Amino acid sequence: MENLRPDKILTVEFIAKLAPQYVEILREFQGKGGWIRMPEKLEARIKNLNLSNYVLLYEDEKRIQVSLMLGLYGEEGFKEWRTEFEASGPETQQSFLDDLTVDAITDEGWDWLDEAFPDTPEKEEIQRQQFESLSEEEKQQAIRQAQFFWCYFFSHFYNFLSIMIHGQKLTSLVPQAMTGDDDALCKAIQIDRRLLLFHPYFMDRYLKAQNNGEQNLLDKIGYRMANPGTRGQIRFPGLYLVFAMLEGVSWLDDLTHEEILDICDESELDRWQNRIDDVNSLTKQLGRYRKFQKTGGLSMQ
C-alpha cells in the first residue's frame, strides 16, 4: 500500500477515535522517570510467544504492515488477499485502505483490544477455555496469528513512539544505522532497547565497538541507555500524539492549521492544557514539535 493514505475525512475520524486510546496506552506504559515499562502481562507475551525477533520488522515499514495482515487473516488468508490486492487497480486499493480505516473507527474494530487486554480473571478464563476447545491444528494456527499480531503491536508502538521522540520512525533509524550511521543507532536503542539484545546488526556493532575500544560510541550508547526516552520529552502527550499520527498517515503537512486544531477538538484535547487556545497557538506548538524533531530529542552533551 505504498504511497496510499486514508481519505482525509476518514483520517479525522480515525485520529479522533484513536488518539485518546493511545494516550491511555502510553500512560500505562510510561513508568517512573519516563522509562517505557511494558506491563508484566505483555512482557510475558513476548517471552511465551518468542516475539523478540519483532525488532527485525524495523528494517522495512512493509514488514510491519504485513505482520498486521498475517495477524488478521492468517498465512493462507493473507496469500489470497495479497494476490487479489496486487491484481487490483489504484482505486480499488484506495478503497481497501479506506475500508480498513472505517473498521478501525467502528466499535467492532476495537474488539481486538478486549481480547488483547482482558481486564478480569473471568475474561481470561473464557479466553483459555476457547483456546483449549480448539483442535491441535487450530491451536497452532491461533498461536501463529497471535505471534504475527503481537509482533505488529510492539513494532508499531515503538515505531510510533520514535516519531514523537526523534521525529523519525524506527523504520527509518534502523536502516540508517545498518548503513553505518551510529547516531541513528543510538537514537534507535533509546526507543527500543531490545535492538541491542536481539537485532544481529546492533549486537555485532556493539561488540565491535567494545573490541575496538570505540569509547566515543560506547559513551553515546551509554548516554542513550541511561536517559529514558520520554522523561520530560512529551509535555503534551495528546497533542504530540495527534501530530505524530497525522505524520504517520502522511497528512500533517497537507492540512491547514485550522483543520489540525479541529482534529484536536475532535480528539477531546483540552485547549488550555495543551496551549492551543487558537490557530496561532497551534502553529507555535507545531513549530516546537518540528524544532524538537530536528534536535533529535535529548541533546548529546
For residue 108, give the DSSP letter: G
Q: For 17-50, write each residue's pLDDT tens digit.
A: 878 877 777 776 666 555 666 667 777 777 777 7
Q: Cα–Cα distance between 84 and 120 in angstroms, integer?
A: 40
Q: Are 150 and 49 in contact (CB under 8 A)?
A: yes
Predicted confidence at residue 187, as pLDDT, reads 92
Tell me what percent of the residues of the chain surpass a pLDDT of 70.
Answer: 84
Which pTM does this prediction carry? 0.78
Q: Are 199 and 185 in contact (CB under 8 A)?
A: no
List strand residue ranges (DSSP E) for the chain, in order: none
Type of residue found at 144: R
Residue 64 cell numbers, joined:
510491519
For residue 126, give the DSSP letter: H
**Coil, strand, or helix at residue 240?**
helix
Summary mean pLDDT of the chain: 83
For residue 54, give the DSSP letter: G
Torsion sign (Cα): 33, 34, 40, 44: negative
Lowest-pLDDT range of 21-25, 75-79, 94-98, 202-206: 21-25
Which residue is associated with the grid cell 494456527? 141
DSSP class per residue in 5-53? ---HHHHHHHHHHHHHHHHHHHHHHB-GGG-B---HHHHHHHHHTT-GG
Q: For 156-188, write each residue's pLDDT tens digit.
A: 888 878 877 777 889 999 999 999 999 999 999
**What are the residues facing 36 on neighbouring strands?**
30
Type of residue found at 193: R
The mean pLDDT value for 135-145 works out to 86
The mean pLDDT value for 202-222 works out to 95
Quickly state the pLDDT bin for 234 (edges 50, 70, 90): low
Q: How far is CA 146 from its chain centroid?
A: 17
Q: What angle do CA 25, 69, 176 make, to 5 degrees?
A: 70
Among 235, 166, 171, CA closest to 199: 171
Residue 256 cell numbers, joined:
491547514
Predicted confidence at residue 183, as pLDDT, reads 94
